C-alpha cells in the first residue's frame, strides 16, 4: 500500500500542469461545497482543501509546483481581483465617503504597523532567546515585520462581498481600503527596510532614496493602469458582439499585469486603476464587470486552494507563539486604528463597530514583501524565524478572516443573504 502511494506521488510530480489545474478546480469545488454545508464562506473551504493537498500533509502538490509552476494563476487572480475592486470605486461614492476612506486607511495601517512592531520588540526576545542584540536584530526586524503587517489582501474580502451580495457604507469603505492599503504598505516597507538596514549595518539613513523609490513605483502603476483604461474607453464602443467582450477585458487585465511586472510596478495597483478608470469613464461599464464576474468563481477557487497549499506544518511547531503574537497584534492594531479613523472622520456607527473585522485578510502582498525583506536584509537565524512566522500567520489569517469579513457584513446589515 505504501509503495502504491509513493508511485501515485511520483506520477503527480511528473504530471502535466493541466492535471494539477484540474485538481485545483475539483478540490476547490469540493472544499467550497463542504464549507457551505457547514455555513462557512466558500473561501474558507478553498483554503482548507489547499492545506490538505499541500506538500506537508498529503503531498499531492509538491513545493516546486506550488511556488513556481502554478505562480501564474496567482498573477491572473490578483489582476482580476484588483480590477473588480477598482470597479467598486465610483467617483460619486468616493466623494461622499472620501474623508472616511482617507482617515481609516491611514489610521488602521499605522495601528497595525505600530502595535506589531511594539509587540515583537517587547516579547520576541523571550520567544527566540536573548542571544542577539536588541538594537541590531530585534528592533530593525520588528520594524520591517510591522510595516508588512499593514497590508490587507483584497481577494478574500472581495470573494465574501460577492458571495453575500453586500452593499452599503461598510462595504464601500472596506473595498476602497483593502486596495489603497497596498500603496500605503509599499511606503511603510520602503521606510522600514531603510531604517532596518541602517541599524543592522550602521549606515546612514537616506530619506531621499526612501521617498523617490516607492513614489516612482506607485506613479508607474497608476500610469500603466490609466493607459489600459484609455485603451478600453476607445475600444469598447466598437465592440458589438457581447461574446467577445470577455476576451477584450481579460486581455486588458493581463496586459496591465504583465507591463506592471516588467516595469517593476505593482500589478495590483495598476489593475485597480484600470478598473477605476473603466467604471468612471466607459459607457455601460457594468457590462465589462458582469462578464468578468461570470468567471470569477473558478479563478478564486484555484487561487485560494493554491494559497492553502503553501502550508508548512513545521512552521507551527517552531513559531507557534510568534504566530499568535503577530495575529493578535495585527488584529488589535487594525481594529483600534479603524475605530480611531472612523471617529475622526465622523463615520456611521456601523463602520466604527464592524469595519475592523473586515480588514484581517492577508496574503499575496504580505508573502511577497517578507520574502523581499529576507533577500535585502540577509538570511540570519532571527530573520528566518520571523519569515516563517509571517508565512504561517498568513495561512491562519486566510483561514479565519473570511469568517470575520462575513461577520462584519452581516452585523452591519449589508449582506443580502445571511
At the topology level, CATH places domain 77-411 in Na+/H+ antiporter like fold (1.20.1530)
pTM here is 0.73
Question: Burial of 209 by CB count in 10 Å (0-12 exposed, 13-18 middle, 19+ buried)?
Answer: exposed
Give Cα 245 distance to the centre of its chain.
Answer: 28
Mean pLDDT is lowest, of 120-129, 159-168, 263-272, for 120-129
Give the model's pLDDT for residue 418.
Answer: 52
The answer to whether residues 99 and 93 touch, using CB atoms and an 8 Å cutoff, is no
Asked if 268 and 75 touch (Cβ cutoff 8 Å), the reply is: no
Every domain of the chain and the residues it spans: 2-67, 77-411
What mean pLDDT do residues 386-409 have? 78
DSSP notation for 307-372: HHTT--HHHHHHHHHHHHHHHHHHHHHHHHHHHHHHHHHT--HHHHHHGGGGG----HHHHHHHHH
Is 1's pLDDT higher than 50?
A: no
pLDDT at 224: 94
Measuring CA to CA, which residue among 194, 221, 189, 191 is closest to residue 205?
A: 194
- Name the residue among 90, 85, 80, 81 with its Cα closest to residue 281: 90
Task: Report pLDDT for 142.
Answer: 83
Give the count of beta carbons closer than 10 Å to the beta carbon of residue 254. 17
323 versus 155: the higher-pLDDT residue is 323
Amino acid at each position: 500500500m505504501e509503495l502504491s502511494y509513493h508511485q501515485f506521488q511520483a506520477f503527480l510530480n511528473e504530471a502535466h500542469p493541466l492535471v494539477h489545474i484540474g485538481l485545483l478546480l475539483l478540490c476547490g469545488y469540493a472544499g467550497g461545497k463542504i464549507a457551505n454545508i457547514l455555513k462557512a464562506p466558500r473561501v474558507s473551504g478553498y483554503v482548507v482543501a489547499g492545506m490538505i493537498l499541500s506538500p506537508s500533509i498529503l503531498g499531492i502538490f509538491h513545493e516546486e509546483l506550488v511556488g513556481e509552476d502554478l505562480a501564474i494563476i496567482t498573477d491572473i487572480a490578483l489582476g482580476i481581483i484588483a480590477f473588480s475592486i477598482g470597479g467598486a470605486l465610483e467617483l460619486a461614492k468616493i466623494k461622499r465617503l472620501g474623508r472616511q476612506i482617507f482617515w481609516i486607511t491611514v489610521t488602521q495601517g499605522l495601528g497595525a504597523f505600530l502595535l506589531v512592531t511594539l509587540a515583537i520588540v517587547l516579547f520576541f526576545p523571550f520567544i527566540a532567546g536573548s542571544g542577539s542584540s536588541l538594537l541590531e536584530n530585534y528592533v530593525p526586524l520588528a520594524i520591517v515585520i510591522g510595516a508588512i503587517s499593514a497590508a490587507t489582501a483584497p481577494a478574500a474580502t472581495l470573494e465574501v462581498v460577492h458571495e453575500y451580495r453586500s452593499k452599503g457604507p461598510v462595504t464601500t469603505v472596506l473595498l476602497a481600503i483593502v486596495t489603497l492599503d497596498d500603496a500605503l504598505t509599499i511606503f511603510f516597507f520602503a521606510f522600514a527596510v531603510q531604517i532596518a538596514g541602517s541599524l543592522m549595518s550602521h549606515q546612514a539613513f537616506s530619506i531621499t532614496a526612501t521617498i523617490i523609490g516607492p513614489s516612482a513605483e506607485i506613479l508607474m502603476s497608476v500610469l500603466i493602469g490609466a493607459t489600459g483604461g484609455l485603451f478600453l474607453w476607445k475600444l469598447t464602443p466598437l465592440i458589438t458582439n457581447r461574446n467577445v467582450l470577455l476576451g477584450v477585458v481579460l486581455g486588458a487585465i493581463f496586459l496591465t499585469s504583465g507591463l506592471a511586472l516588467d516595469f517593476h510596478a505593482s500589478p495590483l495597483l495598476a489593475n485597480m486603476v484600470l478598473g477605476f478608470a473603466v467604471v468612471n469613464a466607459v459607457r455601460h461599464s457594468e457590462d465589462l464587470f458582469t462578464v468578468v464576474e461570470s468567471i470569477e468563481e473558478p479563478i478564486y477557487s484555484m487561487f485560494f486552494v493554491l494559497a492553502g497549499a503553501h502550508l508548512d506544518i513545521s512552521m507551527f511547531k517552531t513559531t507557534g507563539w510568534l504566530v499568535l503574537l503577530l495575529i493578535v497584534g495585527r488584529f488589535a492594531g487594525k481594529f483600534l486604528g479603524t475605530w480611531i479613523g472612523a471617529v475622526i472622520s465622523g463615520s456611521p456607527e456601523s463602520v466604527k463597530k464592524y469595519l475592523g473585522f473586515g480588514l484581517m485578510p492577508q496574503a499575496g502582498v504580505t508573502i511577497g514583501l517578507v520574502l523581499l525583506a529576507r533577500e535585502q536584509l540577509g538570511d540570519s537565524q532571527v530573520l528566518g524565524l520571523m519569515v516563517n512566522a509571517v508565512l504561517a500567520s498568513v495561512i491562519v489569517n486566510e483561514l479565519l478572516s473570511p469568517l470575520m469579513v462575513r461577520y462584519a457584513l452581516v452585523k452591519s446589515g449589508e449582506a443580502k443573504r445571511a
